[in-house]
Amino acid sequence: MLETVPGLALLTTPAVLFFLLGAGAAFARSDLAVPEPVAKSLALYLMLCIGFKGGAEARTAGLDGDFLVAAGLGVALSALLPLVAYVVLKKISRLDHATICAHAATYGSVSVVTFAAGEAYLAAQGLAPGRYMAAVLALMEAPAILTALLLLNRSAAGPSGRPGGALGQAGIMREVVFGAATVMLLGSFMVGLVSGPPGLAKLDVFVGPLFQGALCFFLLDTGLVAARRLMVGGRKLTPPLLGFAIGFPVLSAVLCLLVSRWAGLAVGDGALLAILAGSASYIAVPAAMRLAAPQADAGVYVTSSLAVTFPFNLTLGIAIYAASATWIWR
């Protein structure tokens, strides 16, 4: 059985199996679909649960030096990884400037669902991270997008290539700082932090058992969307871009593990931070880039993150990063 093989237990969890079910249904051209409003509601619910539970449990544990170190590393990685991705993408692809910037932001920002799956897997392996990592997740959403905006401003493409269009930089910054993902994650974290254990007790069922069912439902829809995007836009992903979609997250995660070990983080925190570094955004970045760089080809950077990197992390990457953390920390 797969669950008896170290590192492959993730493949037998209901969340991953529902993702595979959705992908299989899409490849079989089933008419199975989750209405868009339902999918958005599920995404907001997942972010609320992650943020609130993280804040409540961080209140119990205390926001100590470990949180500050993890937050500092997370923000630095989110800000710097897009620069590395930008340089690599310039060398291996012929994408236009705007698409490269959006692609770089995608691989500097993070995936909420990958975080949820990774946190659950680490806890099952006895590597439970600190609950304040939910706040680190929220802090890592925006820096990559801000770095991408700086890269966009380097474009000499003239007025038609200027980022932001009629909305301007103020509108873009507002979307980044006050976007749904950032507000929900940080806002619910603060609510949990203020209400503490009594508040968590009142919402225990809502943010506990129901969360797992919602995650499975959301991943069913994600599997459907990812497979359908791959069937439609897969031809845009050249072999170098496919290699980047897997190789860059792995290198980012390994770098994060080494830095986390050097910084003295606990193994669970380091492993989850590596899972975040190895993830790619398919919610926050597309929303921001729709404003900042409407000319960027979403068929490339969204398909890459959602249809290639996300399935890789969900089926293999998380287990690989966790096993690597155990080896590095021994």
What is the pTM for the complete model shown? 0.79
The predicted structure's pLDDT at residue 36:
85
- Tell me how far apart the alpha carbons of residues 244 and 201 are, in angstroms, rounded to a whole number: 44
pLDDT per residue rounded down to tens, the chain (330 residues): 444 444 456 667 788 889 889 989 999 999 999 898 888 888 888 888 888 887 887 777 666 788 889 989 999 999 999 999 999 999 999 899 999 999 999 999 999 889 989 998 999 899 989 878 888 888 888 789 888 888 887 654 444 444 444 445 666 666 666 767 677 877 888 898 899 889 988 998 898 889 889 888 988 988 898 888 888 877 788 999 999 999 999 999 999 999 999 999 999 999 999 999 999 988 778 877 776 778 888 888 988 998 899 999 998 999 999 999 999 998
- Tell me how far apart the alpha carbons of residues 322 and 253 are, in angstroms, rounded to a whole number: 10
Three-state DSSP string of 56-111: HHHHHHCCCHHHHHHHHHHHHHHHHHHHHHHHHHHHHCCCCHHHHHHHHHHCCCCC
Of 3.40.190.10, 3.20.20.80, 3.30.470.20, 1.20.1530.20, the CATH number of 2-329 is: 1.20.1530.20
For the chain, the domains span: 2-329
Residue 80 to residues 73, 83, 122, 164: CA-CA distances in angstroms? 10, 5, 26, 22
Give me 93's structure tokens.
């692809």
Cα 110 to Cα 273: distance, rounded to the nearest angstrom: 10
How many helices (H) and strands (E) the chain has is answered by 17, 0
